[in-house]
Each structure stands twice: as C-alpha cells, then as structure tokens.
Structure 1
Amino acid sequence: MSTTKKFTVEKIDYIYERLRTQITSNESSITSQSYVFFIIGASGDLAKRKIYPTLWWLYRDGVLPKNISFIGYSRSQLTIEQIFENSHKYMKIQEDEHDIYEKFLKLNSYISGSYDKSEDFENLNSKANKISHQVNAHRLFYLALPPNVYESVSELISKHCRAASPGWLRLIIEKPFGKDLESSNKFSQHLNKLYTEEEIYRIDHYLGKEMVQNILVLRFSNRIFSRVWNRDSIAGVQIIFKEKIGTHRHGSYFDEVGIIRDVIQNHLMQILSILAMEKPRSTTGEDIRDEKVKVLRCIAPIKLENVIVGQYIGDKKSTDSERQLGYLDDKNVPKDSTTPTYAQIIVFIKNERWDGVPFILRAVRSKALNERKAEIRIQFRDVPGRMFDEELSENNVEGTLARDELVIRIQPDEAIYLKINTKRPGEMNFSIEETELDLTYNERYQGVKLPNAYERLILDVFMGSKINFVRSDELQEAWRIIDPILAEIEKKKLQIIPYKFGAIGIREAFDAAVKQGFIYTRTYVWEDD
C-alpha cells in the first residue's frame, strides 16, 4: 500500500528534528551556553543500564546541546573507564559509531565522594566549573540513588552546586517518591524548602512511553472517540501490567515496596488520570497536569471488597528449578511476609463523565504469570436491541454479541486496535464473529525510530517541559487514594491469595471484575487448570 510505503522509503527523524528545533528555540545562546549533566549514583544499576546508555544515544543522534559535559558521582572508588566498562553491553554501539563514541567518552568524567558531606559537594561544584569553563553553566542532576539518601543529597546539591545566574538547575528524581502519604509529603516539603517546583522533575518512565503519550492525541484529536469517551458509552476500563521478572535476588527491596507501591500508585494511576481527565486548555505542562489532579481528586475511597492481592508460590511439580521457587523461598524475604506480588484494585471516579464506570487496575511483577504485557482495555456497552440473536455464531458461548473494545498496547510491540463484530466471510447468513481493526506500530511504521522512555524524558528536562513529570499535588492525590489499602494490608486484614508460577492470574480477581460488569469473551474467559 502506498500509504504504508511513505513511512518506509526513508529513515524518519521527525521526532528528533523537532527536538533539535525546540532546544534551539528555547536557548537562544545555545552556541555559547554550557551544560553539565550530573549522574549522582553513577556506579549503580540504574545508571549502568539506563542513564549512561540513554545519554550516549542522545549524543549519537545529535539532539543534545553542543557544549555539554557529563560528570558521574558516587561513593565507589572507580574511574570513568570502569564506569563505561560496566555500561558497555547496554550501549548497543554499532560498527560505524566507534568514532563518535570516543568523542562521547571524552566528555565524561567521574568523581567519588560521600552523600552527606558538604566538602565533597563543594569539590563536585569545583569540578563542574573547571570542566564547563563557566560558573553559570546550566546544570542537570539525575538522582540515580536509593531513596534513603535523597534528602541529604538534594540538600547538599542546592547548597553547594548551584550555577551562577543566569544558569539554571534541574533536579531529576526517580521513584519511589516516599513509601506512603506521610513520607511522600515529608519529602515534598523538604524539596520545597530548597527548590522551586519548576526545578523539580519527578520521573515516572511510563509517562515517556510512546503509547501513553499517544492517549492525549487519540482522545482529543479524534471526534469519533471524544463523543463516546464517557459513562454513556463505556462499560468499564482495565489497565493491566504484567511483568515476567522474578523478585529473587531483589527480594529485600521488593518486600519493602510491593506491587501496589511499585506499579499501581505511580504507573497505573498516571495512566488512569490521562485516560479519564477532562480536555486541557492546551498542551502545556501545567494545563495537562491541572486536569490530571482534578480527576484524581474525584476518585472515591476504595472499598476493601474491590481489592484483590496475591503472592506467588512455587510450582513443586515443575521440572524447572526456577518455577519451583515461590516468593517466600527468597532468603531475603521474611517468611511471614504479606507483601503482594499481584494486586487488582477497582476504583470509581465520582464525576459527571465517569460515575458508575469501574476502572480496574491490575498489576503483577514476578515470574508468576505467563506473559509480559502492559495494556489498556476500554470496553464499550452492549448494543441495544437483539436483532442478531438468532444469527449469532455457535462460537459465541454467551449467546450475545461480543462487546466492542478499544485496546491500547503499551508494551511489548506498541499497538492500537479496536475489537468489533463483523459478518464471517463466505457465510450466506448473518454469521457473526469478533475481529480487529489493527494498528500495530512495527507493521505500520516500519523503519521509524521510536525513542525510548528515558530518551524522551531526559530531553524533556533539557527543554524544560513538565508535561511528562509528576507534580507534587498529583503525587499527594495518588497516595491519598492508595494509602488506606496499604494500611489494611499491613494490618493483615486483606487475604493474600496464593497463585502458582505460570498461572494466568487469580480467579477471584476475574470474578471481581465480572461482578462490576466487565465481560470476558473468547480467549479471555477464565479456564481452571
């Protein structure tokens, strides 16, 4: 098809070209102004796997300011060569990229120091001034650190590492942003004493994913959707996160956090707010974030009957040794732990648009499910009237038409598809079957490079765009919604349901969704082992 070919004939760089233009327009003095990007926690896993590779890709693609330097900082006694040795396998360097990679390496340096001593951060500041040759170089600090040192590091950066005017400072903070509402508010108050809200970038990498960003365009640029995006047409919404990653070797960290804090309170709650918010006045960061906060404030307290939590157990019959291990078999996890590895929470939004529509948030992070997936399933209400009852396909066991569903697949293999009913080809009567109108990105946009989430978000920080970052009042509302559930789990008032490695989920969770009116058909019908 010619419409497809136009995307594959040449490599499309429109995303990056737009970013180059934006950076240049935002910084009129870009040719003379210097930038310093600090990786605080440079020896850690996040820096090794995500931050350094992302900075390399952005430099390689020519979208970073020209006068830029990178400084790694951590407590480890390392050299910059050792830092890059640890990161090398994640860099994905091609044969023809070695020359530009060498140039990138020369822009990097490393300094070791503590996370709680003023003199070490004064030393870091001197290093930055020397490397950039400007005391007013713009400075970006990425805190790739454990949360227990956030407060001391953020305080020392503000005191000792600020650029002289007109240079600005931007602080990038990784989740978790607290453990509960109280600790989150305490940390926000700490930051507010040291930084303006414009200087703080709370990063949730899910907001940088292609399909999450596409929700705004899908909703507000297509009349076909804007007219039906409400309680009159939509019966229910599922936001699903499944990850085939075991907690073994990371059990001590996961047991402190759990699946609700790790995924639902941030990733899924952010997606929900974008799906459900009213139309913003513009695409500016504050207008969008205002609407996200408004819809979060409309979420009613969650009833315990609408919460299902589970914890995976080993499949002792399996010949795979890894499959035989349950969550509590991790030596780093307390044997009486009630930390969920599976959670489903059903929330209701008490406003005119969504009253009565269940939003089902389901998440699991373990090797206990049979697939890796993140998707949104918007199920539309039944067609009124029953004109096709006698003509329904024998395969439709419910005896009614399957509901239309709009599915947005976030990962893997980005896609948008609409499940609809059509006449089965070749049949002489009105034999009906369910099919899809399918926009799968790797088929439709062949050859188009999609920046990953960290690439998008780090570039947003350079440009000063706050659209895809979490504001303090958003954070407060998300914790306000989730905090009571966490308290009940800690009091052990919620039953932790065991489920085997490789299971499709928890039967009680499916039943709870059905009770709220969500209908499962065909391949989505629960089948017991």
Structure 2
Amino acid sequence: FGVLLKEGKIILFVMAGTDSSASSRQSSFNSLAKDLELPLEQGCLTIVVLGASGDLAKKKTFPALYHLFEQGFLQSGEVHIVGYARTNLSDDGLRGRIRAYLKGASEEHVSEFLQLIKYVSGSYDSGEGFEKLNKEISDYEMSNNSGSSRRLFYLALPPSVYPSVCKMIRTYCMSPTSRFGWTRVIVEKPFGRDLDSAEELSSQLGELFEEDQLYRIDHYLGKELVQNLLVLRFANRLFLPLWNRDNVDNIQIVFREDFGTDGRGGYFDQYGIIRDIIQNHLLQVFCLVAMEKPVSLKPEHIRDEKVKVLQSVNPIKDEEVVLGQYQGYKDDPTVPDDSNTPTFASIVLRVHNERWEGVPFILKAGKALNSRKAEIRVQFKDVPGDIFKCKKQGRNEFVIRLQPSEAMYMKLTVKKPGLEMATEQSELDLSYGMRYQDVKIPEAYERLILDTIRGDQQHFVRRDELKAAWQIFTPLLHDIDAGKLKAVSYKPGSRGPKEADELSEKVGYMQTHG
C-alpha cells in the first residue's frame, strides 16, 4: 500500500496479488499511476549499453538515446549512461565515436548528452569487468541519493554471448531490492536459428530473469505506421466490416532492398533472408494485420491475440515457397561456393480461422532488388456485377508503406474527367511527408527504449509468441539447410525470381500496371 499526492488531494491505494517481485510491483504501480493520470516513477536511472563499441550501438542505440535526451525524456541529473565492451577505450574515446553519428544535432545538446556517458572495459564472461560496472552504477546511485535504483541493460551483442552476459548481470549488477527499483534487459534479434535453439536460449534467460524483466526487441514494432495498424483497424468503422475473407482476396507484406550483403556476406550466410527478415519483422507485421480485436490496449491482451493468430497458421507448403539468390552473392570470399542461403524468399501463409480461411498472406523479402521499400498491400475482391467493365484496370487496394516516405493510400476506380463515361484508377493518398510536414517521426529505437523505461511490453516479443513464430518456419528452414529446397538465381536490380510473381498470380494476386 502507499500514499500518492495529486492536486492537493491524498490518495491511499492498496495493491494486492500473489506476485511479489519488485518488477511486478513496479508494473502495477505504473498502471495505477497511468489510470490516475499521475506521473510515473522518477529518480535515478542507469542505462548500460553492452557492446558499446559495435556498429549497432554507435548507429542506432546511442543516437536513439540522444534523441530521447533532446526531447526531454531523459534528464540530466536523473539518467546515467554507461558503455561496456571489451575494447580498451577511455570515456572521451567512446564519446568521440558516438559524436560522429550525431550529425546535424545541436552542438550544445550533443556536448551535454555526451557528458552523461561513461565507459567501462571488460570481458563478457568474467566477473571482474561486471564488478567494475556495478561499482560505476552504484557510485552514481549513491551520489544521486534518489531512493530508487532503475537499471536498464541493452544487449547490443551477438546472441551467442547472451547467456554469459545475462548471468554476469544477474550475479553482479542487479538493482538493489526496493519498492520502486527494477532491472530490465533488452535483447536484440536473432533469437536463435530454429525452434530448439530459440527455446534453449529462452530457457537460459528464463532461469535468470522473470518474463517481465526481458524485452525482446524487434525494431519493426517501433515503426510509426506499424504502430498505426491497431488504430486503423479498430478505431475506424470503415474497415471493421471489410477486414475479412468476404472482402479481401489476398494480402502482401513486402520488404525490398536495392543493395546486397555489402561485405556482410559471411554473417548473412549464417542466417539467410527468412531468419533475418521474414520470421521476425514481417511476421510481427502479419500478426497486427491478421489478429482479432484485443480486450483492451493492455500489453498482455494485445500479445495474447498475436499468439492466437500465429497458432492458427497452417504448415507451409513447399509449392507455396519461392527462394532466390542474386547473381554475384557467392563472389564474396566469406560466402561458401556451394551456399544455398536465400537472399530472396516469397512464402504464402494461410490462417485457419473464421476471419481468414482461404485468404493467402504473401510474405516477400529480398536483397539486391530494383527498389527499396517495405509495405502492406491489402487487395480486395473484384466488384460483383461489374457494369463498368473496369476489371482490367485493377482491384481496389489499401496500401500502407512502412518505409521509406511513410504513406497510406487507397486505390479506387473513378470516372475519368471529361465528356465520356470512362473509368480510371486513382488514389486517396495520405503521405506523411505532406500531411505532417512539421512533425518529426521518431525512430523505432527511440520509441522502444522509452517503452522499456516505462515498463510497457506491448511492442516486444513474448516467449510463447517467439515459440509460435519458430514453429511456423522451422520445418521450412530445416529443409533449406538440408538442400531439399533450392534457391533460384536472379539478376541484381530486378524484381527477383520470375517464379515469385508466378506464385503471387497463382494464389490470386492481380498486379496493377501504371
């Protein structure tokens, strides 16, 4: 129980439950504070970036932290940022590396932000470095004298070191038990290579931390238009009666890059396009497109519905898979000459439930293609009794472009201006660059790190969700690894293998030209 003060009124609250962990108490308090429109937890916050000298930390993590600082979400005197890595660096050495990735920012803000950052060097599997790290954190907390100890660990590291790092954090760096203290760990993808390895990794981390302490990050869930999906689907009367098998013919979720592996061939060859993009990023988008309406916006209710739709996916059929590998991929000396790793894949998922029975979901991703984009394309069925004979012009489509140049548009058939009764296809267009010219769309990592600080797990992957995702793709991945399914060759700068377009046409997609 406790007492809160709001606008001069004293509020006595009592929280009861069987779970007495500090993180659960804090989560309950945050929920209560949100309901009462009270400020969330305040006081000392330490953010530790492990792998601080790596590319991910320099290009994504630290710039995201800077933008949160710039917007006032991280305050000087309340936040302490510590970089940890094996590289022998000084505080100023790390700051110099980070500064190079904060181009165009205010020099005053950058300098103030960099002063928040300290650096500790140490290995990832021995206690000496983590004891130094804990001392750095504890010294700051004592000098801050806030009464709370909030510790966030961001693992910008390869998954192979997650177990040892998490064991060190658990042994040496946990937040002291207090009413408002917590320890949270952000882990990056890939979460394993298949179902067994993902479950083993989950078990290892689960022995060290509670589920509400683990934040499995998929940065696609932080993208503005991905976050818009729930609002579009469940806040607009227009879409509610249309979003089902009676009206939708097929749905494509597409990721295209116009460059190849660019020196990362050896790393990419260990995973391939399915593990790298489809099993995580595109499948998360698929969940939000296909799931049922949750009971509420509480994270667990949303994640419950995502798990249900994943469990409703039928096994993938070999004849509904096209794999590709661009010409020149194996010229990279780090790629084996006999590599069968796909750099392109088009996969049809079928959902066995009342809403989506018979509707193909085409998940497509590829490298070295003719354009760069990520989009969701909902194609509706033909108009029955078409008196205008306009089928050749294409079907109605609702398109959500996730990147670049965020936009949503509806493709409609309209009368062509003039004296003749002629039809053409046009668009109702919401381009964010035009509609929201004075609004800065936040980077995905900014949003997700802020969610972690707030204890909101809505946009993070739960353990049973991860398991259900791997159950869908593991049989296919094992067949590819065993050479049972072969990747066909395609030219860089093309649309990908022609077999992929043929598969889309076979399952019902009708391409609109022009």
1:346 corresponding residue in structure 2: 348
Work out whether 1:118 is the aligned partner of 2:127: yes
Matched residue type, 1:123: K
The one of 274, 287, 290 aligned to 2:304: 290
Aligned with 2:508: secondary structure? coil
Aligned with 2:334: secondary structure? coil
Distance 1:411 1:346, change over 3 A: same
Distance 1:496 1:84, change over 3 A: same
Partners of 1:424 and 1:431 within 8 A in 2: yes
Cα displacement string for residues 469-528 of structure 1 (whole angstroms, at most 9, x for unaligned residues): 0001110011000111111111111121100111122210111111111111214xxxxx
- Structure-1 separation of matches of 2:148 and 2:125: 24
- Structure-2 separation of matches of 1:257 and 1:74: 25
1:449 corresponding residue in structure 2: 440
Partners of 1:23 and 1:462 within 8 A in 2: no
- Structure-2 separation of matches of 1:486 and 1:415: 33
Tell me by how many angstroms 1:110 deviates.
Answer: 0.1
Partners of 2:120 and 2:129 within 8 A in 1: no
Work out whether 1:49 is the aligned partner of 2:41: no
1:417 corresponding residue in structure 2: 409
2:399 corresponding residue in structure 1: 407
Partners of 2:34 and 2:40 within 8 A in 1: no
1:208-223 equivalences in 2 (<5 Å): 208-223=222-237
Aligned with 2:101: secondary structure? helix
- How much is the aligned-residue C-alpha RMSD, in angstroms? 1.7
Cα displacement string for residues 208-249 of structure 1 (whole angstroms, at most 9, x for unaligned residues): 000000010000000110111000000000000001232131
The one of 211, 218, 228 aligned to 1:197: 211
Tell me by how many angstroms 1:277 deviates.
Answer: 0.3
Partners of 2:95 and 2:117 within 8 A in 1: no
Task: Show structure 1 runs of 5+ residues with no match.
Answer: 1-20, 314-325, 393-398, 524-529
Tell me by how many angstroms 1:377 deviates.
Answer: 0.2
1:328-477 equivalences in 2 (<5 Å): 328-364=330-366, 366=367, 368-389=368-389, 392=390, 400-426=392-418, 428-477=419-468
Cα displacement string for residues 307-338 of structure 1 (whole angstroms, at most 9, x for unaligned residues): 1000000xxxxxxxxxxxx1000000000000
2:316 corresponding residue in structure 1: 302
Work out whether 1:515 is the aligned partner of 2:512: no
Matched residue type, 1:109: K
Tell me by how many angstroms 1:28 deviates.
Answer: 5.1
Partners of 2:340 and 2:483 within 8 A in 1: yes
Matched residue type, 1:458: I
Tell me by how many angstroms 1:260 deviates.
Answer: 0.2
The one of 118, 131, 153 aligned to 2:165: 153
Partners of 1:340 and 1:496 within 8 A in 2: yes
Aligned with 2:260: secondary structure? coil
2:47 corresponding residue in structure 1: 37
Partners of 1:136 and 1:165 within 8 A in 2: no
The count of aligned residue pairs is 476
Tell me by how many angstroms 1:26 deviates.
Answer: 6.9
Moved more, 56-65 or 408-417: 56-65
- Structure-2 separation of matches of 1:170 and 1:24: 25
- Structure-2 separation of matches of 1:251 and 1:354: 38
The one of 175, 183, 192 aligned to 1:163: 175
Partners of 2:273 and 2:345 within 8 A in 1: yes
Moved more, 290-299 or 155-164: 155-164
Tell me by how many angstroms 1:146 deviates.
Answer: 1.1
- Structure-1 separation of matches of 2:508 and 2:115: 59
Aligned with 2:271: secondary structure? helix
Moved more, 97-106 or 495-504: 97-106
1:490 corresponding residue in structure 2: 481
Tell me by how many angstroms 1:29 deviates.
Answer: 5.2
- Structure-2 separation of matches of 1:513 and 1:233: 18
2:20 corresponding residue in structure 1: none
Cα displacement string for residues 439-476 of structure 1 (whole angstroms, at most 9, x for unaligned residues): 00010111111111011001000111111000011100
Partners of 1:404 and 1:419 within 8 A in 2: yes
Aligned with 1:223: secondary structure? coil
- Structure-1 separation of matches of 2:213 and 2:392: 55
Matched residue type, 1:99: E
- Structure-1 separation of matches of 2:510 and 2:386: 17
Distance 1:400 1:211, change over 3 A: same
Matched residue type, 1:292: K
Partners of 2:259 and 2:369 within 8 A in 1: no
Partners of 1:35 and 1:65 within 8 A in 2: no
Tell me by how many angstroms 1:147 deviates.
Answer: 1.3
Distance 1:341 1:23, change over 3 A: farther
Tell me by how many angstroms 1:100 deviates.
Answer: 2.7
Task: Show structure 2 runs of 5+ residues with no match.
Answer: 1-32
TM-score by length of 2: 0.90
1:327 corresponding residue in structure 2: 329
Matched residue type, 1:422: V
Partners of 1:243 and 1:373 within 8 A in 2: yes
- Structure-1 separation of matches of 2:64 and 2:34: 19
Matched residue type, 1:335: D
Aligned with 1:288: secondary structure? helix
Fraction of identical pairs, as percent? 49
